[in-house]
Amino acid sequence: MGFLIQKTVELFSDHAIAGSACGFITRLLCQPLDVVKIRFQLQVEPISRCHISKYKSVTQAVLLILREEGPTALWKGHVPGQLISITYGMGQFYSYNVFLKTLQQVPKIEEWHHTIHFIAGTGAGSVATIISFPFDTMRTRLVAQSRNHQVYNGILHSCSSILRQESPRTFFFGLFPTLLQIGPHTGLQFMFYELFKDLYKRYTSNTNISFYNSILSGSAAGFMAKMIVYPFDLAKKRMQIQGFQHGRKEFGKFFQCNGLLDCLKVTVKEEGAQGLFKGLVPSQMKAATTSALHFTIYEQVLLLLKMLR
């Protein structure tokens, strides 16, 4: 009995370590896409070459950020971003495997193979989101602020300023739409990943979890999942900057809303239905890339940990 408990703890700790590692590496490589995506989401004006908007396309946005703020701006908010990714990756993969092992004890549940991955993924995404959310709020504000109207000097300063000037509740502004987005999004990611992984094995006659299988299945899973839940991601970002007008003086009109439904309603009223998908292109690029890296690095680190035991 003691041996089984020890092995179970080792198994789950491996998932936690692999999740932290994939979160760290993925964030390091994909942070610039995240910065561009957030800038697009927070811009009220249309993202169009035919408009006087600040940001008009992915290429133009990257070049403008480089010219106005320098290369380091593409990694703005990277430290809290890493704290998000490490805590999220650890919480996600650890709790996913706990939920999955629990669900697999249910009689005849194997008939619902892809459904249990969706349920376990939804639970894991919710747990990981709650754990990492305060870092996400700080990261969003660090990314959103202008270089010429800098309010925060780093993660510790942003944390102390929010606690001093606002309240601890501020760290969880936008949590509800985030859970509505991340829960199903993570569930869909894991479900699509297992689905595409099975399809790859079927059509290539390769029963092992190969590097190429992880890359292709992870990329497709990230792309599909992000498209379905994207409006909630946009709403979350816009809710996280409420009360932060003084930090965004150079970015055009400031978006104001009161809660999730009001945020979605005001977005559609002022920007049309397409406004709910503002920043979708860099978000899809990021989702496909990060999901591919996420699952691939996770699988490879797990294999490495097993080899070292």
Which among 265, 298, 221, 302 has a CA at the least distance from the CA of 25?
Answer: 298
Condensed to tens digits (0 to 9), the pLDDT of residues 175-231 reads 887 888 788 889 999 999 999 988 888 888 776 667 888 899 999 999 989 888 888
| Number of domains present in the structure of the chain | 1
Provide the residue type at 61 as one letter: A
Tokens of 263: 């945020």
Q: How far apart are CA 6 and CA 49, in angstroms?
A: 59
| Residues of the domain holding 38 | 2-308
Q: Which amino acid is at 170?
A: T
Average pLDDT over residues 151-159: 82
Residues 225/258, Cβ–Cβ less than 8 Å: no
pLDDT at 95: 93
pLDDT at 163 over 80: yes
pLDDT at 4: 36
**Cα gap 40→140, rounded to integer Å:** 12
Mean pLDDT (the chain, rounded) = 83
The model scores a pTM over 0.85: no
pLDDT at 7 (0 to 100): 44
Q: How far is the C-alpha of 244 from the C-alpha of 241, rounded, in Å?
A: 5
Q: Encode pLDDT of 86-132 as tens digits.
A: 999 999 999 999 999 899 888 877 778 888 999 999 999 999 999 99
Least confident of 21-35, 37-51, 249-263: 249-263
Handedness of CA 291, 297, 301, 303 (dihedral sign): positive
Residues of the chain above pLDDT 90, percent = 19
* 210 to 207, 225, 254, 291: CA distances (angstroms): 9, 22, 47, 16
Question: Which CATH number belongs to the domain containing residue 46 in this structure?
Answer: 1.50.40.10
